[in-house]
A = this chain, B = another copy of it.
Amino acid sequence: MTELSAYMRQVGEAARAASAQVCRASTQLKNSALLAIGDEILKRRDSLMAENEKDLEAGRRNGISEPLLDRLMFTEARFESMVEGLVQVAGLEDPVGEISDMSYQPNGLQIGRMRVPLGVIGIIYESRPNVTIDAASLCLKSGNATVLRGGSEAIHSNLALASCIDAGLEAVGLPATAIQVIRDTDRALVGELVRMDQFVDVIVPRGGRGLIERIMDEATIPVIKHLDGICHVYIDEHADPEKAYNIAINAKTQRYAVCNAMETLLVSEKVAPSILPRLAAGFQAQAVELRGCEATRALLADQYQVTPATEADWFEEYLGPVLAVRIVEDLDQAIAHINRYGSNHTDSIVTENYTAGHRFLREVDSSSVMINASTRFADGFEYGLGAEIGISTDKLHARGPVGLEGLTSQKFVVFGDGQIRQ
């Protein structure tokens, strides 16, 4: 065993041992820990800033880009937002221990389901050090032990936050090993972490597609993951034109670099002539490049610049001011397009027609399906989950925004009176 493997084994064993304590911790104790971690962050502002400066200096030396440096940087506002996040998670309802679906069987056995933590959660993330606090707080509140592996570019900031976490946990009598930040930046550690089946129950990666794909390749542990966000808005022939305009513009332009922004606009051929030109003007006013199918170009090309869309465009997550546009024959073609080219993330239909709306809801195979709303609403806060650890595009376990409940599972509980099987 290499030194690295020995270190990871030690982290894993400690996490597994701590999870037995965290899983039975009372809601009050977990909340106290969250607030104590917040206190430590406020108390240690100066040393946190000093450690963060080390990362920033290294980043400047290594020539990382301004936007990345900005994401790395601690500010007064970011301290407050971390502490505010901890207070919010403390305020959320604790899902652990809830018993549901309790009923009697004919033999008198009372059978139901109890919500329980998953055990040990491994978080692998990049760049923003506040994820250390966000992810740790959700895992702790849901009764899980956590192993956090941040990016090497934020190692000093993450370790400084780790010492706040340690102090907060210990202040309330929970083991510091309930939340561990990996103290080594060797990339091979990610490979070790995602194969520690005996110690880690699930991996939640937070980062770009490269990171996720690497983890999917290497992991032997289940992964709750977010792949692409190729979100669609379909403007149905029965759409209200005002809603259609507002939703399409909002879904594309309210923010570009987010997974729930629209990447492809589908429009029914029945209403394309009346709706698309106005939309094209709106997008052009915001410098959004349009890539259209032939019919779209035939309709718009006289007045607006529309690049020809290729097959690759339907698969593309632009994350920027580019939009693919296709005119479709009908609802069937729209649903088929979304299920073929989409990424099972979030898709919305604009329609006033009852049947079209309900067919879209049922047949579009995405984690969030909407009627007459902007795809931009697909997130845990907007859905009232209170917070989210991420958005899952998986189909098993948790789909869509994952809050505390997604970090738990249900086991069967059976209350007997001495029953034996005949």
Contact = CB atoms under 8 A, between A and B. Distances in A.
A118 B396 contact: yes
A174 interface: no
Contacts of A336: 20
A394 B24 contact: no
A365 interface: yes
Residue of A220, A247, A421 with most chain B CB atoms under a 10 A cut-off: A421
Contacts of A369: 114, 411-414
Contacts of A103: 384
A105 B380 CA distance: 12
A409 B396 contact: yes
Contacts of A396: 118, 201-202, 222, 224, 396-397, 409
Interface stretch (A301-309, A313-321, A371-379): A371-379
A419 interface: yes
B254 A414 contact: no
A118 B254 CA distance: 32
Contact of A250 (B105, B395, B421): B421
A97 interface: yes
A400 B411 contact: yes
Contact of A416 (B359, B372, B394, B401): B372
A206 to B, nearest CB: 18
Given A105-B384, A399-B412, A400-B412, A97 B362 contact: yes
Given A202-B396, A395-B201, A412-B400, A119 B418 contact: no
Contacts of A377: 109, 414, 416, 419, 421
Q: Is the interface of A mostly helix, strand, loop or mixed?
A: mixed
Interface stretch (A67-75, A238-246, A276-284): A238-246
A361 B421 contact: no
B383 A119 contact: no
Interface residues of A, number: 70
A368 B414 contact: yes
A415 interface: yes
A247 B418 contact: yes
Contact of A420 (B118, B119, B376, B418): B376
A348 B419 CA distance: 12
Contacts of A251: 420
B368 A23 contact: no
Contacts of A116: 362, 365
Given A201-B395, A365-B116, A410-B399, A372 B418 contact: yes
Contacts of A397: 396-397, 409
B414 A370 contact: yes
A343 interface: no
Interface in A98-122: 103, 105, 109, 111, 114, 116, 118-119
10 contacts: A24-B359, A114-B369, A224-B396, A254-B421, A348-B416, A366-B411, A367-B412, A368-B414, A373-B416, A396-B409
